[in-house]
Amino acid sequence: MLLIKMALRNLWRRKFRTVITVSAIGFSYGLLIFFVQFQTGGKEQMANTGIRMQAGHVVIQATGYNVDKELEKSIKNPGAIDKTIHSSDKKAKIAWRLFTTGSLRSSDGSVLLDRLVGAQFDREKNVSDFPSKMQTGTFLTGGPDEIVIGAAAAKLLKAEVGSKVQLSISDIDGSIVRVLLRIKGIYKTGGASVDRGYALMNISRLQELLKMPGEVSQIAIFTDLHSSKGLAKELRRRLRGQQTEVLHWQQALPTLHQLLLVDTASMYIFLFIIFFIVAAGILNSVLMSVLERTREFGVLKALGMRPGKILQLIMSEAFLMGLFAIIVGLAVGLTMSYIVSIYGLDPADLAGGEQGMEAAGVPLTEKLYPKITAFSCVWSSLFVMILTLISALPPSLRAAKILPVKAIRE
């Protein structure tokens, strides 16, 4: 306890240096906390958006479909697989999808579709983001000749809700099929590629046009993000030998997964920079303190203070400095995270316009929010404290080795 009192007194003797060091480290640490929590929340939102719009937490496809996307590689018995999924996870939501490409043509324009989705309207509206993105009209209702397109596609076609457009696709035999469809709704996600080249129609009608009755390209399963790996593993075991492959969303959406990994790598680079600032600040402050107090340490050793006690004294000063910096950092970082968690950050504002940001084909139109967790605060605080003590160790050892006679002469 005496060492702590002496350490506090020594820090207070050099108020300006202590305040500057604690403030610099604390503010840097506060930015670290905010960045980690915002990045964690943003990654989860990106993953969930991509999962809802392009896949599922787990997807089941015919073996090899994820490589070449051929119509022939389809699931012939989706109903039986549904029963297997429900027996593994009764709370999971399931949607069947049939994928192809094609083109839409109106009297005033045309547009190529990178992905035409045959969807179950009753299931899709419970798992997809598209029903909530409708700009005009409504989502699919089950009518045989209705289609939902993006705002960019509607602009190219110069069409609106209720307009008729001609859909051209190739069926499973390679024959060109043309059919007139009526636009049921127009959505806007903010992603340029999605709003132009993505359209949805009822799966039963698309199965008929493609001559694929009862067949689907993908069974998308929606469950908890963090438990989805376990479900994928269980389904792989239960569906072994059925000419299907079970993919976790990280395998089904490899580009998005790689982007999130790059984002994580950038976070670690930022952490390294912050920790370097902390280490440099503590080392500089403690070293200057030791050099200025060389005579003082010599007198203490001449009076009988052991080298170990001097080491403990300086380490106590560093510990207190680190503790004060952590308190300041937590106050700054959690305040920033709390404010942003209330209002969020709009990707459109970050992009500098009305058009939202797009990452790996996933439109980021929802506001981004940090994910405030006790774990992120605890591990980062412990790391900062450990780094503080390690940085203070070399100057402390220098002080402990000071020779009393030589020190008093300086």
Angle, helix 374-400 to helix 307-343, in steps of 10 degrees:
160
Q: What is the total residue count of the chain?
A: 410
Give the DSSP per-residue string, 90-106.
Answer: TT-EEEEEEEEEEEEE-
Give me the residue spans of the domains in the chain.
Answer: 2-51+257-409, 58-251
What was the pLDDT predicted at 313? 83
For 283-320, what is each residue's pLDDT tens digit?
887 777 777 777 777 777 777 778 788 888 888 888 88
The span from the CA of 395 to the CA of 392, in Å, is 6
Tens-place pLDDT, residues 175-222: 999 999 999 999 988 777 888 989 999 999 999 999 999 899 999 999
Contact 234, 93 (CB under 8 A): no
User: pLDDT for 78-96, tens place per residue?
Assistant: 888 888 888 888 888 899 9
Strands 58-62 and 134-137: unpaired
Residue recorded with tokens 């399963």: 221
pLDDT of 180 reads 94
9-13, 196-200, 232-236, 395-399: range with lowest mean pLDDT: 9-13
Give residue-wise pLDDT tens across range 37-92: 888 888 887 788 778 877 888 999 988 887 778 888 899 888 888 888 888 888 88
Per the DSSP assignment, residues forming a β-bridge with 315 are: none
In the chain, the amino acid numbered 145 is D
Crossing angle between the packed helical segments 254-292 and 294-302, to the nearest 10 degrees? 60
Contact 357, 364 (CB under 8 A): yes
